[in-house]
Structures are given as structure tokens and as C-alpha cells.
Amino acid sequence: MLAVDPGFGRCGIAVVEKHGGREELLYSTCVETPSSAAFAERLAQVVRAYAKLIKKYAPDSIAMEKLYFSKNQKTAMQVAEVRGALLHAAAEAGVQTFEYSPTQVKSATAGYGAADKKQVARMLHALVKIEKDILHDDEYDAIAVGLTHLAYHPKEG
């Protein structure tokens, strides 16, 4: 299954599966777009990378973090637009999408709905083998969303 932490500056994407009752991280990345580019181009870059990964990994489902309201309304609106484009791309590929709130993700991965990013990252290293340095929280967030989905849907992956 493919998991996403949507964003237009940075979009975390991970591919996780369950093998023999154990979760496995197959791939993760953080798609970064230049802040100097127009929003439409940044959106297109994110969607192209996402669609390419859907085609490559042929996931049985996609999990995405729900939008939480930020103080910056412009940013929240743009992230909502990214989510819409990603949901559209998933539907076009015929892949069902599931959505999880940040509290659900923190509870499923760290055991505490108010866990901070460092606590979640530490738990992710305990839950799955992460063989590379992860530079941005967005990538950790995508992995966490994927593990959350597998916790809610244990027969998938």
C-alpha cells in the first residue's frame, strides 16, 4: 500500500506492506518542490511523482493524512488543493483511498494521540527497518500513515 503526507513544498510518500504478520517499509521519499516555482507547477511536480509511484508499485490501497487546520489559511487551502489532486490521481488509477487524522496516526504508531514528532519517529524505527537517513518529518509522517492503515486494515498490504 502507498501512504502519503500531502504537501506542496514537501510531500512524504511511503510504500509499506505486511509480510508474515510484520510490517515492512519498501520505499519512502520526500518530494520537494522549489519555493521559487509557481504553485501550479509545484502541484504538478507532486502529482507526477505520486502517479509514477502508483504505476510502479501498483498499490492495493492508498492511505493519506487528513488535513488539519493550520493558522495559515493560504497554506491550508493549498494543501487541500494538493490533497484533491492526489485523491483524483488515485481514483483515476482505480485505487481506493483511506484517510486518517493526525491523532489516529500518532495513536497507532506511538500509542499516544498527542505524541510529538520525535516520539513518532523513534517508534517508527522500532516498528520497521528504516535503512536510510530521513531528512524531513514529512517522510516519517508518510511511513506512520502507512503503518496506521495496516493497523486499521491488517489483512491488506
115-153 pLDDT tens trace:
998 999 999 999 999 999 998 999 999 999 999 999 998
Residue 143: what residue type? I
Is 147 part of any domain? yes
**Number of compact structural domains in the chain:** 1
Please state, in angstroms and rounded to a whole number, the distance separating the CA atoms of residues 142 and 15. Answer: 9
Is 157 part of any domain? no
Is 60 part of any domain? yes
State which residues form the domain around 58. 2-152
- Each residue of 42-77: pLDDT tens digit? 999 999 999 999 999 999 999 999 877 666 778 888
* Active site positions, annotated: 5, 65, 138
The model carries a pTM of: 0.93
Is 65 part of any domain? yes
Give the domain CATH number at 74: 3.30.420.10
